[in-house]
Amino acid sequence: MVNAYASGAPTALPPESQELLRRRERVLGSPYRLFYREPVHLVRGSGAHLFDAQGNDYLDAYNNVPAVGHANPRVQAAVGEQLGVLNTHTRYLTDDVVDYAERLTGLFPAPLSQAIFACTGSEAVDLALRIARHRASAPGVIVTRNAYHGTTTAAAEISPSLGDGNPLPPYVALVDAPDSVRGAGPEAAEREFLAQISAAIERLTARGFGFAGMIVDSVLSSDGLRLEPAGFLTRAARLVRAAGGLTIADEVQPGFGRTGSWWGFQRHTADAPGFAPDLVVLGKPMGNGVPISAVIGSAEIFEAFGSEVRYFNTFGGSAASIAAAGAVLDEIAERRLLEHAARVGSILLSGLRDLAADSERRGRGPRIAEVRGAGLFLSVEYASDADGTPDPEAAVRMVDALRERRILVSASGTHENVLKIRPPLVFDDADAARFLDGFAEASAAR
């Protein structure tokens, strides 16, 4: 992880936080990482804000899980109440999981009409892979070069962003995300992307792995937020379909309104009425932090899998998680968070672009190659020269400089040179102003 605390490094944290850090390293151990050169010790959250024990207020511009806000009262009440009534699994007939499944599938185009619930995005990705591979009787899948899809064995196998300690099996083919900074324009980027898809299908088939399909984050989050040219994912999905594979839209990050639409894939289907991915994977913000995830698909695809391979997830779709998920939909609807994400996102996008232009004009601060955004998902790509040569050090320095100003973001991208800005959907105008001020300061400080 690019912006992690280096285990054992000195910090300026208060003594009680340092003691907690030592205890943590003893009992949680080596697989765990903390964010930031100087970790953050949190005790409380509210809306888009987090607080440490000294009462300092941190602006959360990173966490998409608490989409409807840290400590959201409606989610709290719904879960608290449900835990006093019933919280059991889906092998009994219960009302709430059916009500919610109808409500959720109602947000998707035909033929996406059924849901299977799990607990985490990783589990949902893993299940979607099982379904696609069962259908094809073949393991071959396509993913993007710096994709992250999760942490089970099968999900890690398709997550090249996990790095060298996590080698990929030969039945996983990589394609480069369209590069809007160093490429020859959007049309060329798409042509190149589609050519890679075709070549990958051919390669997997030639090597005897067969072709189960493609799984792709609808906004290519871990590849650095790749958005243009809108529609390229649908045209890639058509190639996948023609070769007999399924397209799995990983909506764990873009889903539930982040881009200003319900789902990230809608950005790519606007010009292709009636087109939908074959399977959709949902997670993170679905229960605002209460573990719940889902795979959405057609009755036909689920039937082919379910008639031969039953699926049961003990906690998946249990009543308390469903209560949280229902409260999230209520909040999104009543607070009009899709419109809100689009509006505040555009303030951030134009604000960041203005700061980038200003910084370039004055020749001050790190060089920004591009600012991208879709709703409340934004990225700032740093380059060391006019050719767009990736500058990961600039990105990490900005992450830490923002953290010093109590603004929380992270870095990602194939070259780790992209600032990842992905706040709770309730991030408001004052939060955006504070973010832009902090960003200007952090840029100038360097």
Residues 120-139 that bind a copy of itself (CB under 8 A): 120-123, 126-127, 129-130
Q: What does the alpha-carbon distance between residue 101 and residue 286 come to, in Å, rounded to a whole number?
A: 12
Query: Which one of residues 61, 66, 279, 365 is an interface residue with a copy of itself (CB under 8 A)?
Result: 66
Q: Which of residues 345-404 bind a copy of itself (CB under 8 A)?
A: none
Indicate the residue among 54 and 307 with the shorter CB distance to a copy of itself.
Answer: 307
Instruction: Tell me if 21 contacts a copy of itself by CB under 8 A.
Output: yes
Could you tell me how many residues of this chain bind a copy of itself (CB under 8 A)? 98
Nearest distance in Å: CB 290, a copy of itself: 7
Give yes or no for a contact between 342 and 377, defined as CB atoms under 8 angstroms apart. Answer: no
Nearest distance in Å: CB 212, a copy of itself: 12
Residue 130: closest CA among 332, 334, 252, 313:
313
Q: What does the alpha-carbon distance between residue 61 and residue 76 come to, in Å, rounded to a whole number?
A: 22
Q: Which of residues 70-89 bind a copy of itself (CB under 8 A)?
A: 70-71, 73, 75-76, 79-80, 83-89
Piece in contact with a copy of itself (CB under 8 A), picked from 203-211, 296-304, 375-383, 414-422: 296-304
Indicate the residue among 258 and 284 with the shorter CB distance to a copy of itself.
Answer: 284
Nearest distance in Å: CB 248, a copy of itself: 14
Instruction: Tell me if 6 contacts a copy of itself by CB under 8 A.
Output: no
Which two structure tokens, joined as six digits, stand for 311?
A: 């699926």
Q: What does the alpha-carbon distance between residue 359 and residue 384 come to, in Å, rounded to a whole number?
A: 14
Instruction: Tell me if 68 contacts a copy of itself by CB under 8 A.
Output: no
Q: Which of residues 155-174 bind a copy of itself (CB under 8 A)?
A: 156, 162, 165-166
Query: Which one of residues 1, 2, 107, 329 is an interface residue with a copy of itself (CB under 8 A)?
Result: 1
Our CA dihedral for 302, 307, 308, 311, rounded to 10 degrees, sits at 60
Q: What does the alpha-carbon distance between residue 254 and residue 374 come to, in Å, rounded to a whole number?
A: 9
Residues 6 or more apart whose Cβ sits within 8 Å of residue 267: 218, 219, 227, 230, 259, 261, 374
Amino acid at 225: L
Give yes or no for a contact between 373 and 345, defined as CB atoms under 8 angstroms apart. Answer: yes
Nearest distance in Å: CB 423, a copy of itself: 13
